[in-house]
Amino acid sequence: MIASRQKMLAIVCGGGPAPGINSVISSVTIEARKNGWEVLGIYDGFAHLCKGIKNVVPLTIDMVSRIHYDGGSMLRMSRANPTKAEESLRKAVETLLDLGVTHLVTIGGDDTAYSAFKISEYATQQLGMSLQVVHVPKTIDNDLPLPEGVPTFGFETARALGAQLVSNLMEDARTTGRWYFAIAMGRTAGHLALGIGKSASATLTIIPEAFGTGQIRLQNLVDLLTASIIKRLALKRDYGVAVVAEGIVEKIAPEDLKNLEAHCFDEHGHIRYAELNFPELLKQAVMKNLCDLGVKMTIVGKEIGYELRCAPPNAYDIEYTRNLGYAAFDFLRNGGSDALITIQNNRITPISFAEILDMQTKKTKVRMVNIHSIQYQIAKEYMVFLEKDDLDDSMKLKALAAVTKLSEGDLVKRFAAVAL
């Protein structure tokens, strides 16, 4: 009788950090070890695997028993993309199999989920080997295709800390008479920006979903912000904070960003927002707008994101990630594979990779903010935008025009397009 193959579970962390990664690592490792499985931690995401390098560490219960309180990732991580070239994918799969790995837990966002799917597919279809894979959805962007109301882990911690930072900026703005443009992380969707802006009672929050499916011109965004500043001044408030989702950049017409250099894009083809310096670009454009209108205002651009990613997880995310780690192992132990793990209505609910893939792009679907939801409608109710009523009401229009050097008629012509 042939002895059964020793079960070896590997853990890979891909993409950017998020609060709670260590808690998942801890939970998965403890459950696997309790059941007699070996556990390997893979350092630096797929970076070494893609090159056929075995940079790993055996994980034990003692090593991980208290790391759930820590931010960051004990295994570090990277955005290395094993699907970028067939050779990289082959080396990643062969290296895992050569290490004796029978089961793989990936922790990451949409790109890592897609990489996990391709690794499992390659092992089965090209090498005829079984490699059971489960993905734990991680991103402070909250944009993986989970059911509405089910967050990705790390989001709640990031939102809470981001709201505290924006609240501090709001008080500084009030005290000093200035505006802040806080650009919040969120590569495509506006979940984090909206969560931060609503929780901190920011003056307004701008997310890409609010502009529909088409492209927008940079000048439209600039006019929208300019109009809000003018309205606040007309209300005798010379300060404010605008939270802007960085994903808005992906909606701006390419000709408005034509000077982007190659280093502004990562291995998955996404814009590196830190390289773009979007806060400064937006600040300068609005300052020029205001200057042309005869309005004096100090504006400070701030990025909010890197401060959030490696924060220690809050109680919600610790409990959530321990649950997800347990659920991921339970799924594999019971023969499951090729799925993203979720917990819905207090039940472990896997979602197959096939369900979360966009069949046209062959990439993972992205969950956008539902702008028709009551949560968004309430958030918008408390934002300060220029409204059509402001331009139709003679008293309000007079107050707005008095802030600028425009006549009332010229002000209507200038900003009617961005009045909501």
Look at residue 263 in the predicted model and tell me its pLDDT.
42
Average pLDDT over residues 91-110: 96
Sign of CA dihedral 204, 206, 211, 213: negative
Look at residue 96 in the predicted model and tell me its pLDDT.
97
pLDDT tens per residue, range 198-228: 999 999 999 999 998 889 999 999 999 999 9
Share of the chain above pLDDT 70, in %: 94
Average pLDDT over residues 107-135: 93
Residue 393 is among the residues annotated as catalytic for this protein: no
What domains are there in the chain, each with its CATH number? Answer: 8-152+313-356 (3.40.50.450), 163-308+386-418 (3.40.50.460)
Predicted confidence band at 3 (pLDDT cuts at 50, 70, 90)?
Answer: very low
Average pLDDT over residues 301-318: 95
Predicted confidence band at 260 (pLDDT cuts at 50, 70, 90)?
Answer: very low
Look at residue 273 in the predicted model and tell me its pLDDT.
53
Look at residue 2 in the predicted model and tell me its pLDDT.
38
Q: Per the residue annotation, which of 141, 223, 317, 338 is the catalytic one? A: 141
3-state per-residue secondary structure call for the chain: CCCCCCCEEEEEEECCCCCCHHHHHHHHHHHHHHCCCEEEEECCCCCCHHHCCCCEEECCHHHHCCHHHCCCCCCCCECCCCCCCHHHHHHHHHHHHHCCCCEEEEEECHHHHHHHHHHHHHHHHCCCCCCEEEEEEECCCCCCCCCCCCCCECHHHHHHHHHHHHHHHHHHHHHHCCEEEEEECCCCCCHHHHHHHHHHCCCEEECHHHHCCCCECHHHHHHHHHHHHHHHHHCCCCCEEEEEEHHHHHHECHHHHCCCCHHHECCCCCECHHHHCHHHHHHHHHHHHHHHCCCCCCEEEEEECHHHHCCCCCHHHHHHHHHHHHHHHHHHHCCCCCEEEEEECCEEEEEEHHHHECCCCCCECCCCCCCCCHHHHHHHHCCCCCCHHHHHCHHHHHHHHHHCCCCHHHHHHHHHHHCC
Look at residue 266 in the predicted model and tell me its pLDDT.
55
Look at residue 269 in the predicted model and tell me its pLDDT.
54
* Residue 158 reports pLDDT greater than 70: yes
Predicted confidence band at 57 (pLDDT cuts at 50, 70, 90)?
Answer: very high
Predicted confidence band at 357 (pLDDT cuts at 50, 70, 90)?
Answer: confident
Please name the residues in contact with 201: beta carbons below 8 A apart, sequence gap of 6 or more.
Answer: 167, 170, 382
Predicted confidence band at 359 (pLDDT cuts at 50, 70, 90)?
Answer: low
Look at residue 196 in the predicted model and tell me its pLDDT.
98
Cβ(384)–Cβ(240) below 8 Å: yes
